[in-house]
Amino acid sequence: MAARSRIWVINGLGRFYIAIVRGVPDIAFFMFFVIALDQLLEWVRHHAFCPDWSDAIWQGNDFVVCTEAKLPLSSAPQWVHDSYSFALAVLTFSIVFGAFASNVLFGAMRAVPVAQIETGEAYGMTRRQTFWRIIVPQMWVYALPGLSNLWMILIKATPLLFLLGIEDIVYWARELGGSKTSKFTSYPHGDWRIWYFLGLLVFYLAFTRISEIFLDRLMARLTFGQAIAGGEAQRRGDA
């Protein structure tokens, strides 16, 4: 919506967000953004809670703030630390894949036939009304294939969570399958990682298949009654 705005500042911000995030490798964004955001929050808290601090915050390569400014606090229970890391992960994934999704939606909005928009305007609809009543309901037909691909990529990108210190399903498959790892010193079995990773293979294939079934049904629902693309093919099939 921002990239379609007639206000040049909002339009520029929308296009800048899409272009910059799409042009940065995911792994570099994960490593930089999360650290920078965490330090920014602690920097703000440091100046709010420790105004009398006299030492420099940046000491060489070290970022040093007072104890009260730490996020989360060292005295906080473990679930707070886990929730904080998970929230940072969700936010980072949202920003990264949100840029790709925004580009898909932007293209889908432009794919809606101009004649339908002009017809709505001819009936006296405002620009806001044509957007919400004509463009948005129909753009999903064009956007869903691209969004479904992004969903599949997102499923496979979750192992990037290890960069944020979050132990995902791939991490635990490696740890539980090994005969001796950093988490566990010994097991009653040998190196079973191949079997754990085969289980992961089945899990990801099953999850992908379930997603495909759901997306196919969603596409059938969205194209119902529309004389465009899949909707037209569906109408002819019913006939």
Positive or negative torsion for Cα 162, 168, 174, 175 = positive
Peptide bond just before 72 cis, omega within 30 deg: yes
Dist. CA 72–CA 84, nearest whole Å: 7
- Looking at the domain assignment, is residue 41 inside a domain? no
Q: Which residue has the higher pLDDT, 10 or 163?
A: 10
Q: Which two tokens stand for residue 78?
A: 């473990």
- Looking at the domain assignment, is residue 171 inside a domain? yes
Residue owning tokens 């969004």: 147
Whole-number pLDDT of residue 230: 47
Q: Does position 87 have pLDDT exceeding 90, yes or no?
A: no
- Looking at the domain assignment, is residue 176 inside a domain? yes
- Looking at the domain assignment, is residue 99 inside a domain? no
Please report which confidence band the pLDDT of residue 46 belongs to, taking 50, 70 and 90 as the band edges.
Answer: confident
Whole-number pLDDT of residue 214: 92
Number of folded domains in the chain?
1
Q: Does position 228 have pLDDT exceeding 70, yes or no?
A: no
Dist. CA 25–CA 22, nearest whole Å: 8
Q: Does position 71 have pLDDT exceeding 80, yes or no?
A: yes
Whole-number pLDDT of residue 127: 87
CB 99 within 8 A of CB 17: yes
CB 222 within 8 A of CB 234: no
- Looking at the domain assignment, is residue 219 inside a domain? yes
Percentage of the chain exceeding pLDDT 70: 87
- Looking at the domain assignment, is residue 218 inside a domain? yes
Range of the domain at 178: 167-239
Q: Does position 187 have pLDDT exceeding 70, yes or no?
A: no
Q: Which residue has the higher pLDDT, 228 or 48?
A: 48
pTM equals: 0.71
Whole-number pLDDT of residue 4: 84
Q: Which two tokens stand for residue 75?
A: 């005295």
Whole-number pLDDT of residue 233: 55
DSSP secondary structure letters along 111-154: HS-HHHHHHHHHTT--HHHHIIIIIHHHHHHHHHHHHHHHHHHH
- Looking at the domain assignment, is residue 105 inside a domain? no
- Looking at the domain assignment, is residue 185 inside a domain? yes
Which residues lie closer than 8 Å to 81 by C-beta, 6 or more apart? 72
CB 68 within 8 A of CB 49: yes
Q: How many CB atoms lie within 10 A of CB 99?
A: 19
Q: What is the pLDDT of residues 96-138, one digit of tens each?
A: 888 889 989 988 988 888 888 888 888 898 888 998 888 888 8
